[in-house]
Amino acid sequence: MEKEGIVGEAAQPVNWLWRSVVLAALTFMVPSLAYLGLFELFSKSYSGLPKYLAEFLAAGIALFLSMLTLKVYNDREALGLDIKQLFAVRPLGRMGLVFVAGAVANLALIAAFIAVMLKFYPDYEGSTDIAKMWAGNDKWFFVLTSTFMYAACEEIFLRGLVFNYIKKHAGVMKALLVSSLLFSAMHGGRIWVALLMIFLNGLIYGLAYEKTRSLAVPCLLHGLHNSVLRIIGVLGLVG
């Protein structure tokens, strides 16, 4: 006989790990394919668009698609995110302090990364694709804006979708660690020092989001990080 009080089978636990990997895959697919594909299309000679404007438009469309995906999955996964308030900016108080702390930590990681690379890997060149994309661009406003917009695409998925999905099913600590590991894995193919820096940056962005509940802070921190590294690389300020 069945035990009294049991009215049905227990619900199966959600396999949050593999589903978070799927969501992270969207981080690569949606904005990356849109950004790179549209940039390639817009920058062709027949389009008549200068390279900086082609990148700006491609990043803008990728950001729009990322926001649309966030809205769809927020409803589908019942994450309970208030899309209208998700990018709130309140520079005074906690948000401002968290941003400053995150920026200092970000810059410290960049300095440590450069020091390690110069000491142990002085001949390492890394990917030249970004440098080629930026070479000759004199419209820095559009270039830097594009960098921040694409960083926002990644944050929308990793800190907006993946972090909140894992937090809902497994708690904050696993959300921080797994989302940061996925963030690093997305940038696979790079030297281990770079992957470690990306993982630590993921922790910074995740903590910044958790402390402020606004994606604006990790978006700005991520954009700042990318901009500093790319400016250093394109202008040849180090090495």
Model pLDDT, residue 230 = 79
CB 180, CB 203: distance < 8 Å: yes
Compute the distance between CA of residue 197 and CA of residue 210 in angstroms, rounded to an integer. Answer: 20
Q: In the chain, what are the helix, strand and coil shares in percent, each to the nearest 5?
A: 75, 0, 25
pLDDT band for position 39 (cuts 50, 70, 90): confident
Residue 72 or residue 237, greater confidence: 72
pLDDT at residue 237 in the model = 62
Give 51 or 155, the one with higher predicted confidence.
155
Averaged pLDDT, 174-182: 95
Query: What residues have CB less than 8 Å from 195, skipping those under 6 apart?
Result: 184, 187, 188
Does 110 score more than 70 pLDDT?
A: yes
Helix axis angle for 172-186 and 163-170, nearest 10°, is: 140
**Distance from C-alpha of 61 to C-alpha of 119, rounded to nearest angstrom:** 40
Tell me what the mean pLDDT of segment 187-193 comes to. Answer: 86
CA distance 126 to 114: 13
| pTM of the predicted protein model | 0.88
Give the dihedral sign, CA 137/138/139/142: positive
By CB neighbour count within 10 A (0-12 exposed, 13-18 middle, 19+ buried), where does 104 fall?
Answer: exposed
Residue scoring higher pLDDT (234 or 60): 60
pLDDT over threshold 60, residue 67: yes
3-state secondary structure of 189: coil
Please check the confidence at residue 69 and state whether its pLDDT lies above 60: yes
Confirm if 130 and 39 have CB atoms less than 8 A apart.
Answer: no
What is the distance between the alpha carbons of residues 123 and 6, in angstroms, rounded to a whole number? Answer: 67
Q: Say how far apart CA 32 and CA 186 lie, in whole Å.
A: 11
- Determine the straight-line distance between the first and last CA of the chain, rounded to whole angstroms: 76
pLDDT of residue 135: 57
pLDDT score at 236 = 66
Q: How confident is the model at residue 204 (pLDDT cuts 50, 70, 90)?
A: very high
